[in-house]
A = this chain, B = another copy of it.
Amino acid sequence: MKRVLDRNRDMAARVREKLGVRNVIMINLISSPGAGKTSLLEKICEHLSGEMRIAVIEGDVATDRDARRIEKYQVPVVLINTDGGCHLDSNSIDMALREFDLDNLDVVFVENVGNLVCPAHFDLGETFKLAVVSTTEGDDKPIKYPMLFREAMAVVLNKTDLLIHTDFSHETFLADMHQVNPGIPVFELSCRTGDGLDEFLEWIKLSVSKKV
């Protein structure tokens, strides 16, 4: 296991360098299955593909369903099927990046396999990790799956439109989140209604323009 992680880290460093010299940022989206990573990417592509050059790497255990959803937005998409594997690794990212014209990109979004545990352990060479969690999963995820939330640069709390139908406690969620990662920005939004999306998209624009 240590050798696997060491090899992954070495390749992640090479990926990071490859992107760095071209001033391309890479954002690694991680969440449970069904929290809304693809929906969030659809919103990002819809609203931001006119003002920045976006590419997407779609990681999935099986099927090309998510990749097909993204292709509609006319951005370059590479699909990685892990065939049962529970996370992406830096080697598969390095291969996928070869499919893009990196000199003509501003940002690569990576949609990791839907999994709160394993993807947090694997550096892909990303600029930063973005955690996505949804109100319907309950308010206890930050404390129960701390590694991802500790590693993430920011958190999206999706499905706020369903909040009133659940027992989700904002207070518990934020208290636990800030215990795990003090000061981490939390964007509360609904991909379905669009509520709260503007603030998040502004932050993405800022992140890409600053090359965080």
Listed in ascending order, the chain A residues whose CB lies under 8 Å from chain B are 32-35, 60-63, 65-66, 84-86, 113-118, 121, 134, 136-138, 140-141, 143-147, 159, 161-162, 165-167, 192
Contacts and interface: CB of A to CB of B under 8 A. Distances in A.
Contact of A165 (B84, B115, B162): B162
19 contacts: A32-B33, A32-B114, A33-B144, A34-B134, A34-B137, A60-B144, A61-B146, A61-B147, A62-B145, A63-B143, A65-B144, A66-B144, A86-B115, A115-B115, A115-B116, A117-B118, A118-B118, A136-B136, A136-B137
A62 B60 CA distance: 26
A168 B84 CA distance: 24
A107 to B, nearest CB: 25
Contacts of A33: 32, 116, 137, 141, 144-145
Given A62-B145, A65-B143, A136-B159, 17 more contacts: A32-B34, A33-B144, A34-B138, A61-B144, A61-B147, A62-B144, A62-B146, A65-B140, A84-B117, A85-B117, A86-B86, A86-B115, A86-B117, A161-B165, A162-B162, A165-B165, A167-B192
Contact of A143 (B62, B118, B141): B62
Contacts of A35: 137
A148 to B, nearest CB: 10
A194 B137 CA distance: 18
Contacts of A166: 162
Contacts of A66: 144
Nearest to A136: B136
A201 B99 CA distance: 51
